[in-house]
Amino acid sequence: MIDSFFNLEIMAQVLPSILDGMGITAVLSILVILTGTVLGLLLATIRALQKRPVDLIIILFVDAFRAIPPLVILIVTFFALPYVGIQLSGLVATWLCLSLVLAAFAEEIFWAGILSVHKGQWEAARSTGFTFLQTLRFVVLPQAMRLALPPLTNRAIAIGKSTALASVVAVPEILNQASSAQAQYANASPLTLAALAYLAIFIPLVVLSRWVESRFAWKH
Protein backbone atom coordinates (compact mmCIF):
# COMPACT_ATOMS: atom_id res chain seq x y z
CA MET A 1 0.00 0.00 0.00
CA ILE A 2 2.78 2.46 0.89
CA ASP A 3 4.56 1.80 -2.38
CA SER A 4 1.35 2.13 -4.39
CA PHE A 5 -0.06 5.26 -2.75
CA PHE A 6 2.83 7.00 -0.97
CA ASN A 7 5.84 6.43 -3.22
CA LEU A 8 7.94 9.48 -2.39
CA GLU A 9 10.24 9.07 -5.37
CA ILE A 10 7.34 9.19 -7.83
CA MET A 11 5.70 12.02 -5.91
CA ALA A 12 8.87 14.08 -6.18
CA GLN A 13 9.00 13.53 -9.94
CA VAL A 14 5.37 14.52 -10.58
CA LEU A 15 5.28 17.41 -8.06
CA PRO A 16 6.08 20.13 -10.67
CA SER A 17 3.19 19.08 -12.89
CA ILE A 18 0.84 18.89 -9.89
CA LEU A 19 1.88 22.40 -8.88
CA ASP A 20 1.12 23.61 -12.40
CA GLY A 21 -2.29 21.96 -12.10
CA MET A 22 -2.84 23.62 -8.73
CA GLY A 23 -2.41 27.04 -10.30
CA ILE A 24 -5.01 26.29 -12.98
CA THR A 25 -7.42 24.75 -10.47
CA ALA A 26 -7.11 27.70 -8.08
CA VAL A 27 -7.66 30.33 -10.77
CA LEU A 28 -10.55 28.40 -12.33
CA SER A 29 -12.23 27.89 -8.94
CA ILE A 30 -11.98 31.57 -8.06
CA LEU A 31 -13.36 32.61 -11.45
CA VAL A 32 -16.27 30.18 -11.17
CA ILE A 33 -17.14 31.29 -7.63
CA LEU A 34 -16.99 35.00 -8.46
CA THR A 35 -18.87 34.76 -11.76
CA GLY A 36 -21.51 32.34 -10.51
CA THR A 37 -22.20 34.31 -7.33
CA VAL A 38 -22.52 37.67 -9.11
CA LEU A 39 -24.75 36.20 -11.82
CA GLY A 40 -26.93 34.49 -9.21
CA LEU A 41 -27.36 37.76 -7.31
CA LEU A 42 -28.23 39.56 -10.55
CA LEU A 43 -30.87 36.97 -11.46
CA ALA A 44 -32.42 37.12 -7.98
CA THR A 45 -32.53 40.92 -8.18
CA ILE A 46 -34.22 40.79 -11.60
CA ARG A 47 -36.68 38.22 -10.28
CA ALA A 48 -37.57 40.59 -7.42
CA LEU A 49 -38.98 42.98 -10.05
CA GLN A 50 -41.84 40.47 -10.47
CA LYS A 51 -42.06 40.57 -14.27
CA ARG A 52 -43.81 37.30 -15.02
CA PRO A 53 -42.33 36.42 -18.46
CA VAL A 54 -38.82 37.14 -17.16
CA ASP A 55 -39.53 35.23 -13.95
CA LEU A 56 -40.51 32.15 -15.95
CA ILE A 57 -37.30 32.28 -17.97
CA ILE A 58 -35.20 32.56 -14.78
CA ILE A 59 -37.11 29.71 -13.11
CA LEU A 60 -36.63 27.47 -16.17
CA PHE A 61 -32.91 28.28 -16.23
CA VAL A 62 -32.50 27.63 -12.51
CA ASP A 63 -34.44 24.37 -12.53
CA ALA A 64 -32.58 23.07 -15.57
CA PHE A 65 -29.09 23.82 -14.30
CA ARG A 66 -29.87 22.50 -10.83
CA ALA A 67 -31.30 19.26 -12.22
CA ILE A 68 -28.71 18.35 -14.88
CA PRO A 69 -25.36 16.99 -13.61
CA PRO A 70 -22.51 19.46 -14.25
CA LEU A 71 -20.55 16.80 -16.14
CA VAL A 72 -23.37 16.39 -18.66
CA ILE A 73 -23.58 20.17 -19.16
CA LEU A 74 -19.82 20.37 -19.68
CA ILE A 75 -19.70 17.52 -22.19
CA VAL A 76 -22.63 18.88 -24.20
CA THR A 77 -21.17 22.39 -24.20
CA PHE A 78 -17.67 21.33 -25.20
CA PHE A 79 -18.54 18.71 -27.80
CA ALA A 80 -21.87 19.95 -29.20
CA LEU A 81 -21.31 23.69 -29.65
CA PRO A 82 -18.65 23.23 -32.38
CA TYR A 83 -21.43 21.79 -34.58
CA VAL A 84 -23.10 25.22 -34.54
CA GLY A 85 -19.86 27.09 -35.10
CA ILE A 86 -18.98 27.87 -31.47
CA GLN A 87 -15.58 26.52 -30.44
CA LEU A 88 -14.65 26.90 -26.78
CA SER A 89 -11.44 25.82 -25.12
CA GLY A 90 -11.74 23.29 -22.32
CA LEU A 91 -10.89 25.97 -19.77
CA VAL A 92 -13.52 28.43 -21.00
CA ALA A 93 -16.16 25.70 -21.34
CA THR A 94 -15.54 24.56 -17.76
CA TRP A 95 -15.62 28.12 -16.44
CA LEU A 96 -18.85 28.88 -18.31
CA CYS A 97 -20.66 25.67 -17.35
CA LEU A 98 -19.74 25.66 -13.66
CA SER A 99 -20.48 29.39 -13.39
CA LEU A 100 -23.97 28.79 -14.74
CA VAL A 101 -24.51 25.87 -12.38
CA LEU A 102 -23.41 27.94 -9.38
CA ALA A 103 -25.53 30.88 -10.60
CA ALA A 104 -28.61 28.63 -10.60
CA PHE A 105 -28.04 27.60 -6.99
CA ALA A 106 -26.98 31.09 -5.91
CA GLU A 107 -30.13 32.61 -7.42
CA GLU A 108 -32.33 30.33 -5.36
CA ILE A 109 -30.34 31.07 -2.21
CA PHE A 110 -30.51 34.83 -2.73
CA TRP A 111 -34.18 34.62 -3.68
CA ALA A 112 -34.96 32.74 -0.47
CA GLY A 113 -33.13 35.48 1.43
CA ILE A 114 -35.16 38.18 -0.31
CA LEU A 115 -38.43 36.40 0.45
CA SER A 116 -37.45 36.06 4.12
CA VAL A 117 -37.43 39.84 4.59
CA HIS A 118 -40.77 40.78 6.13
CA LYS A 119 -43.21 42.57 3.86
CA GLY A 120 -43.59 45.29 6.47
CA GLN A 121 -40.01 46.39 5.86
CA TRP A 122 -40.74 46.87 2.17
CA GLU A 123 -43.80 48.95 3.04
CA ALA A 124 -41.98 50.99 5.67
CA ALA A 125 -39.17 51.83 3.26
CA ARG A 126 -41.58 52.79 0.49
CA SER A 127 -43.52 55.01 2.90
CA THR A 128 -40.37 57.05 3.58
CA GLY A 129 -40.07 57.86 -0.11
CA PHE A 130 -37.72 55.10 -1.27
CA THR A 131 -38.30 53.77 -4.76
CA PHE A 132 -38.64 50.04 -5.31
CA LEU A 133 -35.02 49.72 -6.40
CA GLN A 134 -33.78 51.84 -3.46
CA THR A 135 -35.76 49.65 -1.06
CA LEU A 136 -34.27 46.56 -2.64
CA ARG A 137 -30.73 47.94 -2.55
CA PHE A 138 -30.59 49.58 0.87
CA VAL A 139 -33.11 47.61 2.95
CA VAL A 140 -33.80 44.17 1.50
CA LEU A 141 -30.57 42.98 -0.11
CA PRO A 142 -28.30 43.68 2.90
CA GLN A 143 -30.53 41.47 5.05
CA ALA A 144 -31.00 38.85 2.34
CA MET A 145 -27.25 38.55 1.78
CA ARG A 146 -26.60 37.96 5.47
CA LEU A 147 -29.11 35.12 5.44
CA ALA A 148 -27.74 33.74 2.19
CA LEU A 149 -24.06 33.65 3.14
CA PRO A 150 -23.91 30.29 5.02
CA PRO A 151 -25.62 28.16 2.35
CA LEU A 152 -23.99 30.16 -0.43
CA THR A 153 -20.42 29.66 0.77
CA ASN A 154 -20.98 25.93 1.16
CA ARG A 155 -22.46 25.64 -2.32
CA ALA A 156 -19.72 27.79 -3.84
CA ILE A 157 -17.00 25.56 -2.39
CA ALA A 158 -18.81 22.44 -3.61
CA ILE A 159 -19.06 23.82 -7.14
CA GLY A 160 -15.45 25.02 -6.94
CA LYS A 161 -14.32 21.46 -6.28
CA SER A 162 -16.17 20.41 -9.42
CA THR A 163 -13.36 21.99 -11.43
CA ALA A 164 -11.94 18.46 -11.35
CA LEU A 165 -14.45 17.76 -14.14
CA ALA A 166 -12.24 19.87 -16.39
CA SER A 167 -9.98 16.85 -16.75
CA VAL A 168 -12.65 15.36 -19.04
CA VAL A 169 -12.05 18.14 -21.58
CA ALA A 170 -8.25 17.98 -21.31
CA VAL A 171 -7.70 20.99 -19.05
CA PRO A 172 -4.34 20.37 -17.31
CA GLU A 173 -5.67 20.95 -13.79
CA ILE A 174 -4.79 18.82 -10.77
CA LEU A 175 -6.77 15.68 -11.59
CA ASN A 176 -5.72 15.69 -15.23
CA GLN A 177 -2.05 15.95 -14.30
CA ALA A 178 -2.38 13.27 -11.63
CA SER A 179 -4.24 10.87 -13.92
CA SER A 180 -1.61 11.26 -16.63
CA ALA A 181 1.17 10.63 -14.13
CA GLN A 182 -0.65 7.62 -12.72
CA ALA A 183 -0.87 6.09 -16.20
CA GLN A 184 2.78 6.91 -16.90
CA TYR A 185 4.14 5.36 -13.70
CA ALA A 186 1.44 2.68 -13.19
CA ASN A 187 1.24 3.89 -9.61
CA ALA A 188 -1.48 5.67 -7.61
CA SER A 189 0.88 7.95 -5.68
CA PRO A 190 0.19 10.92 -8.02
CA LEU A 191 -3.48 10.69 -7.00
CA THR A 192 -2.47 10.90 -3.35
CA LEU A 193 -0.46 13.99 -4.17
CA ALA A 194 -3.48 15.38 -6.02
CA ALA A 195 -5.63 14.86 -2.93
CA LEU A 196 -3.11 16.82 -0.87
CA ALA A 197 -3.14 19.57 -3.50
CA TYR A 198 -6.93 19.85 -3.29
CA LEU A 199 -6.66 20.10 0.49
CA ALA A 200 -4.08 22.88 0.13
CA ILE A 201 -6.45 24.86 -2.07
CA PHE A 202 -9.82 24.27 -0.45
CA ILE A 203 -8.99 24.13 3.27
CA PRO A 204 -8.17 27.89 3.22
CA LEU A 205 -11.46 28.51 1.37
CA VAL A 206 -13.35 26.54 4.03
CA VAL A 207 -11.64 28.53 6.78
CA LEU A 208 -12.40 31.78 4.92
CA SER A 209 -16.05 30.78 4.53
CA ARG A 210 -16.33 30.16 8.28
CA TRP A 211 -14.87 33.59 8.96
CA VAL A 212 -17.28 35.22 6.51
CA GLU A 213 -20.23 33.43 8.09
CA SER A 214 -19.23 34.52 11.60
CA ARG A 215 -18.37 38.05 10.46
CA PHE A 216 -21.74 38.67 8.83
CA ALA A 217 -23.93 36.56 11.11
CA TRP A 218 -26.79 38.23 12.92
CA LYS A 219 -25.75 39.44 16.36
CA HIS A 220 -28.28 38.81 19.12
**Can you give the CATH number for the domain in which 198 is found?**
1.10.3720.10
Q: What is the pLDDT of residues 36-56, one digit of tens each?
A: 999 999 999 999 988 889 999
Geometric angle at alpha carbon 148, from 143 and 151, rounded to 5°: 160
Burial of 59 (0-12, 13-18, 19+ CB in 10 A): middle
Rounded-to-integer distance, Cα 93 and Cα 219, Å: 41
Q: Which helix (H) or strand (E) holds 121?
A: helix 119-127
Residue 28: predicted pLDDT: 95
**pTM of the entire predicted model:** 0.90
Please report, rounded to a whole number, the percentage of residues in the chain having pLDDT higher than 90. 67
Does residue 186 form part of some domain? yes
Q: What is the pLDDT of residues 127-152, one digit of tens each?
A: 888 888 888 888 888 888 888 888 89
- Residue 217 pLDDT more than 80? no
- Region 59-87: mean pLDDT is 94
Confidence band (pLDDT; 50, 70, 90) for 118? Answer: confident
Does residue 60 form part of some domain? yes
Does residue 67 form part of some domain? yes
Mean pLDDT for the chain overall: 91
Query: What's 194's DSSP letter?
Result: H
Residues in the chain, total: 220
Rounded-to-integer distance, Cα 105 and Cα 40, Å: 7
Geometric angle at alpha carbon 150, from 149 and 153, rounded to 5°: 75
User: Phi/psi at 146 (nearest 5 deg)?
Assistant: -60, -45
Query: What's 49's DSSP letter?
Result: T
Does residue 16 form part of some domain? yes
- Region 187-212: mean pLDDT is 90
- Residue 184 pLDDT more than 70? yes
Is 64 in contact with 105 (CB distance < 8 Å)? no
How many domains does one find in the chain? 1
Rounded-to-integer distance, Cα 14 and Cα 121, Å: 58
Residue 83: predicted pLDDT: 92
Residue 62: predicted pLDDT: 96
Q: Cβ of 195: how many Cβ atoms within 10 Å?
A: 14
Q: What is the pLDDT of residues 147-174, one digit of tens each?
A: 888 889 889 989 989 999 999 998 999 9
- Residue 216 pLDDT more than 70? no
Domain that holds residue 75: 2-215
Burial of 86 (0-12, 13-18, 19+ CB in 10 A): exposed
Residue 219: predicted pLDDT: 55
Is 130 in contact with 183 (CB distance < 8 Å)? no
Four-CA torsion 165, 168, 171, 177, nearest 10 degrees: 90
